[in-house]
Amino acid sequence: MGYRTLTELQLGNGRRVDVIGLDRQGRFVVVEVKSSVADFRADGKWLEYLPYCDAFYFAVSPDFPMEILPPDVGVIVADAYDGAIQRDAHVIAMNASRRRALTVRFARTAAGRLDGDAASRNGFAIRAL
């Protein structure tokens, strides 16, 4: 798919996505991992992720009943070793100003995570005065 990914990214609405990816064209994909049918039925927050991506997928196990998933979202079937797209997501372009804000949030979060790793390895970090 060619995406650079982050896990557990907080969106502008305060929700936190499981996985978000950004491709070379600046398009975002969100993947919500569902561990069971009960997990899927108990969690309706995924609808609040849709304005923050161009494509949305559920990632489920091979034995997950696909028929309970909404027909207009993508599906990734995965186990502990591999995953494959079972159904492509519908692509709906994000609002331009939200895309810019999310791109900055994605970049700052990624850089912050790298900086945190570098600070712990090298014993220093850049701090504002």
Q: Over the stretch 6-26, which tens digit does the pLDDT of each residue have?
A: 999 999 999 999 999 999 999
78 found inside a domain: yes
* 84-128 residue pLDDT tens: 999 999 999 999 999 999 999 999 999 999 877 554 444 455 555
Print the domain residue range for 89.
4-122
Model pLDDT, residue 2 = 85
Q: What is the pTM of this model?
A: 0.86
65 found inside a domain: yes
- Residue 48: pLDDT over 70: yes
* 28-43 residue pLDDT tens: 999 999 999 999 999 8
14 found inside a domain: yes
42 found inside a domain: yes
79 found inside a domain: yes
Q: How many domains does the chain have?
A: 1
99-107 long-range contacts (CB < 8 A, ≥24 apart) are 99/26, 99/28, 101/12, 102/11, 102/12, 102/28, 102/52, 103/22, 103/26, 105/9, 105/10, 105/11, 105/12, 106/6, 106/9, 106/20, 106/22, 106/28
129 found inside a domain: no
